[in-house]
Amino acid sequence: RIMPVRWSRYDPSYLEPEVNKELYQKPSEKLTEEEREQMELKAVRPIKAAPPTLSSSVFSDPMISKFTNMMMKNGNKVLARSLMSQTLEAIKRKQLEKYHKAPENEKETIECNPYIIFHQALKNCQPIIGLSNITRGGKTYQVPVPLTDNRKRFLAMKWLITECRENKHRRTMMPEKLSQELLLAFNNEGPVIKKKHVLHKMAEANRAYAHFRWW
């Protein structure tokens, strides 16, 4: 059942815009049944306007935009965007340093692309299972619960940002600290990965209460 939680300025019949250029250049024979139906539906329904953060250029990435929005404070998108670009630059610099110092045989294993490092680090930080508070007979238990994709991504990004804001020396800048954390997460080390493992252990410990979940 579709229940609109908040109302939006768009009519409910408006569909989301699709910005990827390559999807439009595909010839019609290679489309599957579902894609054909979707194309037909799109031809009839009106479509929402593309938001200002979305663009068809190579440089716009939905994950990076989401992360920038979460880092933003008081609506200062300019500052958040500049911090993000400085972080990616810092990652690239560190990786290049490592690349030039490494011996010949290890040069291929070092990843220099900051976007790949960012995506891989986020993936490594995502928890598989989460805990939720369920009250039964007066006592509140922490019950292990499966998480949706959106929730996993949100938790990974939230942990990274809180970790960078709190556990750092007063004089270190945010991009430096963020790049450090991202590189550690990329290699499956660091405090964020530790937090994820702690959560998994708690879920394993409270396995007995898993039957309290009714959804």
H helices of 45-173, where? Answer: 62-71, 77-101, 114-125, 149-166
Segment near other proteins (CB under 8 A); pick from 11-19, 139-147, 170-178, 190-198:
11-19
Closest by CA to 204, choosing from 136, 142, 151, 119, is: 142
- Is 78 a binding residue for other proteins by CB under 8 A? The answer is yes
Q: Which of 48, 93, 123, 197 binds other proteins (CB under 8 A)?
A: 48
- The whole-angstrom separation of Cα 136 and Cα 138 is 6
Element (H, E) at 146: strand 139-146
- Is 30 a binding residue for other proteins by CB under 8 A? The answer is no
- Is 132 a binding residue for other proteins by CB under 8 A? The answer is no
- The whole-angstrom separation of Cα 175 and Cα 64 is 14
- The whole-angstrom separation of Cα 99 and Cα 69 is 31
Looking at the Cβ atoms of 45 and 201, the one nearer to other proteins is 45
Helix (H, G, I), strand (E, B) or coil at 134: strand
- Is 215 a binding residue for other proteins by CB under 8 A? The answer is no
Q: Which of 26, 55, 96, 102 binds other proteins (CB under 8 A)?
A: 55
Segment near other proteins (CB under 8 A); pick from 47-55, 97-105, 155-163, 179-187:
47-55
The owner of tokens 């994820």 is 196
Q: Which of 49, 108, 140, 169 binds other proteins (CB under 8 A)?
A: 49
Contact between 54 and 19 under an 8 Å Cβ cutoff? The reply is yes
Looking at the Cβ atoms of 18 and 189, the one nearer to other proteins is 18
For other proteins, the binding residues (CB under 8 A) are 1, 9-10, 13, 17-19, 21, 24, 37, 40-50, 52-57, 59-60, 77-78, 81
